[in-house]
Amino acid sequence: MKQVAAGEVDVDSALQRLKTLPYEDIDFAKIDHHRSLRQGIPEIIYGAGKTKEQIIRIIDVLIKGGNDAIVTRTSREVYESVRKRYKKALFNEQARMIILERGEKKKSDNSGFILVISAGTSDIPVAEEAAVMAEIMGNKVERLYDVGVAGIHRLLDKVNLLMSATVLVVVAGMEGALPSVVGGLVDKPVIAVPTSVGYGANFNGLSALLGMLNSCSPGVAVVNIDNGFGAGCIAGLINRVRQ
């Protein structure tokens, strides 16, 4: 910063150097304080498989470093422990996410919006994970839930909304057909998210994943099974560059 102030280093060069600053090593985790600066995506705590003590310790480090703290795939039990320490922490029950933001949420300059669609009500937890993550990144998000192919008229009734979106996240289990239908209706990027929702031959989401990968609709990209978080991040990045 002193070199920038003295005119010895230009702003763009300084920014590049800041983007590669070291992480913080706390033994069981290595915290990347500059992920948001580097990628525009905050450092996220994947809650599954971590103890409450580990999660709280990582939150402590993130907050001390001036970052937001976001925990995915977690439970209300973990949230209650976090809230004893951080009263401003919020819990999205459907998305299974703890959200602790230090300041006001940054809004994107983009006038466009991300539309998150779920085929069924059972797909909403994954859809909400995508929607919340996109909102955390500062995007405007609209939701359209329970409009699967079993009653396609529910989707067709909202064609104007579909056509207005900048990027669409389409979440579906069972045979995973909905992203192909949406992809055939719109001229915007479609991110398909297969879910593990379905009966035995769904193979915990494998049938939906394969169906989406074999989509005949151009413009459809696919993320991993139940990966709402990844879909929300990708949608946020696409929405940013399309402004």
pLDDT per residue as tens digits for the range 152-193: 999 999 999 999 999 999 999 999 999 999 999 999 999 999
Cα 150 to the center of its chain, rounded Å? 27
What band does 105 get if pLDDT is binned at 50, 70 and 90? low
What are the pLDDT digits (tens) for 24-44? 778 888 887 777 777 777 888
Q: At what angle do helices 52-64 and 76-85 cross, to 10 degrees?
A: 40
In 137-227, alpha helices (H): 153-156, 159-164, 178-183, 206-213
Lowest-confidence pick of 21-35, 53-67, 83-97, 116-130: 21-35
* Identity of the amino acid at 45: I
Domains of the chain with CATH codes: 2-100 (no CATH), 114-241 (3.40.50.1970)
Query: How many angstroms separate the Cα of 135 from the Cα of each of 103, 104, 138, 220, 235?
Result: 14, 12, 5, 22, 10
Is the whole model's pTM more than 0.95, yes or no?
no
**Pick from 139, 131, 67: which is nearest to 107 by CA?**
139
What are the pLDDT digits (tens) for 130-146? 999 999 988 999 999 99
> What's the average model confidence in pLDDT over 9-27?
77
Query: How many angstroms separate the Cα of 60 from the Cα of each of 51, 67, 82, 200?
Result: 14, 10, 10, 42
Return all residues near 111 (Cβ < 8 A) that are at least 6 apart: 243
Alpha carbons 100 and 83: distance in angstroms, whole number: 10
What are the pLDDT digits (tens) for 192-234? 999 999 999 999 999 999 999 999 999 999 999 999 999 999 9
